[in-house]
C-alpha cells in the first residue's frame, strides 16, 4: 500500500499512476475491514474503486495524455516538495508517537456489534440527518456544476 502511494506520485506513466491509486484504495478498504468497519469498507470498494478510479481513467483519456512514459509530468519544485513532505512526515510521526504511543485498539465482539451496518445507518439517519441532506444537495450541485463546466458550447 505504501509502495502504491509512492507509485502514484512517482510513476512516469499517467495510466500506471491511476492504477497504483487503485492499489492504495484496495489497501485502505482492507484496513477498514480489519478495523471491523464493514460498511465503510464496502462503500470504499463501490465508490472509490468502482466510480472514482474509472472517472480518473476517463479524465486521462479525455485530456489525451500520452500513454507511454514521459518525464515532464513533474515540475521543477520536486526537491522543495520532497523536503516539505519529509519534514511534515517527521513532525506528524513524532506527534503521533508522543500522543498515542502505547494505545491499543481492542477488536472484540462488542466492537463488531456496535460497528455493523445497522448501527451506522441508525447513526446517519438519527444523529446526522441534516448533514446527510446537505450532502445530497451538494452532490446535486456538483453534478449540475460539472455538466455546466465541461459542456461544449
Partner 1 sequence: MLAADVALNQYLILSAFLFCTGVYGVLARRNGVLVLLSVELMLNAVNINLVAFSAFTRNISGQVFALFVITIAAAEVGVGLAIVLLIYRNLRSPDLDRVDQLKG
CB 142 within 8 A of CB 65: no
The least distance separating partner 1 from the CB of residue 93, rounded to whole angstroms, comes to 6
Least Å from the CB of residue 85 to partner 1: 4
Assess contact for 18 and 65: CB atoms under 8 A.
Answer: no
List 68, 105, 130, 153, residue binding partner 1 (CB under 8 A)? 105
- Closest distance of CB 146 from partner 1, Å: 4
Binding mask 21-40 for partner 1 (x = CB under 8 A): x--xx--x--xx-xxxx-xx
Give residues 45-104 in contact with partner 1 (rule: CB under 8 A): 47-48, 51-52, 55-56, 58-60, 62-65, 72-75, 77-78, 80-82, 84-86, 88-89, 92-93, 96-97, 100-101, 103-104
Nearest Cα residue to 39 out of 47, 141, 79, 108: 47
Q: Copy the grid coordinates of residue 15.
A: 495510466
Answer yes or no: are the C-beta atoms of 60 and 15 closer than 8 Å.
Answer: yes
Cβ count near 21 (within 10 Å): 20
Q: Which of residues 109-148 bind partner 1 (CB under 8 A)?
A: 109-112, 114-115, 119-120, 123-124, 127-128, 131, 135, 138-139, 142-143, 145-147
Taking alpha carbons only, the member of 56, 69, 82 closest to residue 13 is: 69
Amino acid at each position: 500500500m505504501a509502495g502504491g502511494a509512492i507509485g502514484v506520485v512517482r510513476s512516469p506513466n499517467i495510466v500506471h499512476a491511476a492504477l497504483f491509486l487503485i492499489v492504495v484504495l484496495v489497501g485502505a478498504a482492507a484496513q477498514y475491514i480489519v478495523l471491523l468497519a464493514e460498511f465503510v469498507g464496502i462503500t470504499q470498494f463501490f465508490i472509490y474503486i468502482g466510480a472514482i478510479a474509472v472517472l480518473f481513467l476517463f479524465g486521462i483519456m479525455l485530456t489525451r495524455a500520452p500513454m507511454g512514459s514521459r518525464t515532464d509530468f513533474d515540475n521543477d519544485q520536486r526537491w522543495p516538495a520532497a523536503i516539505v513532505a519529509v519534514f511534515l512526515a517527521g513532525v506528524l510521526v513524532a506527534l503521533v508517537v508522543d500522543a498515542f504511543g502505547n494505545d491499543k485498539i481492542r477488536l472484540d465482539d462488542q466492537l463488531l456489534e456496535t460497528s455493523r451496518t445497522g448501527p451506522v445507518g441508525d447513526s446517519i439517519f438519527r444523529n446526522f440527518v441534516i448533514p446527510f441532506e446537505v450532502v445530497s444537495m451538494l452532490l446535486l450541485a456538483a453534478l449540475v456544476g460539472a455538466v455546466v463546466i465541461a459542456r461544449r458550447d
